[in-house]
Amino acid sequence: MFTGIITDVGTITELEQQGDLRARIRTGYDTATIDIGASIASDGVCLTVIALGDVWYDVQISAETVSKTNLDSWAVGKRVNLERALKVGDELGGHIVSGHVDGVAEVVKMEDEGDSTRVTLRAPEALARFIAPKGSVALNGTSLTVNEVDGCDFGINFIPHTKEVTTWGDVAMGDRINLEIDTLARYVARLHEAG
């Protein structure tokens, strides 16, 4: 489990297709504190550490994961949002995030509002019903509050701090973004269907 509070921005330094995709991610984390088999959310995707170096870790990514996320667009030099798994007693600063991406949203509009940037994303139709104004979503692993919803489109504001400490300062029109809907929203919708 994760919180959607990004604690490092890593850089992809190697990619190799070996049946599954293997990626090497350079990190600021103290790799001596990471175990083989640990889970690290990388752009919102829960990935398992399979090898470690002084300033990097490797993950193996299945074809299924690549097909359901934006990881097919990963390239050497790309910056990625990172978060280590929660430990008992950690502060829950965002919302409960599983690292299991539900689909990919697309950036369809961007405009500056003061020092912030308002970004409008288009969710897949099957997921749009789970997104509500003032609800939470995880986008590329970042816990964010939804401002407004219009059909499949929803808006998010990014303050300067968020743009500086995550990859959201790099976002561009047409970018494909990993979307994880709020688990609570999923259960509320399921209860509504049953009622």
Q: Which tens digits make up the pLDDT trace of 50-78?
A: 999 999 999 999 999 999 999 999 999 99
> Tens of pLDDT along 92-106?
777 788 899 999 999
pLDDT at 167: 97
Long-range contacts of residues 28-37, Cβ cutoff 8 Å, at least 24 apart:
28/55, 29/57, 29/82, 29/84, 31/55, 31/56, 31/57, 34/84
8-84 and 103-194 in the same fold: yes
Using the predicted structure, report yes or no on whether residue 40 has a pLDDT greater than 90: yes
Predicted confidence band of residue 136 (pLDDT cuts 50, 70, 90): very high
pLDDT at 188: 73
How is domain 8-84 classified at the CATH fold level? Elongation Factor Tu (Ef-tu); domain 3 (2.40.30)
> Tens of pLDDT along 145-157?
999 999 999 999 9
pLDDT at 159: 96
Domain at 103-194: CATH code: 2.40.30.20
The pTM is what? Answer: 0.93
Which helix (H) or strand (E) element contains residue 178?
strand 176-181
Cβ atoms of 130 and 182 within 8 Å: the answer is: yes
Q: Cα(186)–Cα(42) distance, rounded to whole angstroms?
A: 23
Q: Cα(34)–Cα(39) distance, rounded to whole angstroms?
A: 9
Rounded to 5 degrees, φ, ψ at 97 are -125, 135
- Cα 62 to chain center, whole Å? 17
Cβ atoms of 71 and 61 within 8 Å: the answer is: yes
- Domain residue ranges in the chain: 8-84, 103-194
Q: What is the mean pLDDT of residues 42-56?
A: 97
What is the DSSP code string of 49-86? EEEE-SSEEEEEE-HHHHHHSSGGG--TT-EEEEEEPP
pLDDT at 98: 87
* Among 127, 129, 109, CA closest to 117: 109
Mean pLDDT of the chain: 93
Predicted confidence band of residue 195 (pLDDT cuts 50, 70, 90): low
> Tens of pLDDT along 4-36?
999 999 999 999 998 899 999 999 999 999 999
pLDDT at 182: 87
Q: What is the mean pLDDT of residues 137-148?
A: 96
Largest CA distance in the chain: 54
Instruction: Report CA dihedral (161, 167, 168, 172) to the nearest 10 degrees.
Output: 150
pLDDT at 63: 94
Q: How many CB atoms lie within 10 A of CB 162?
A: 17
> Tens of pLDDT along 168-192?
999 999 999 999 998 777 777 767 7
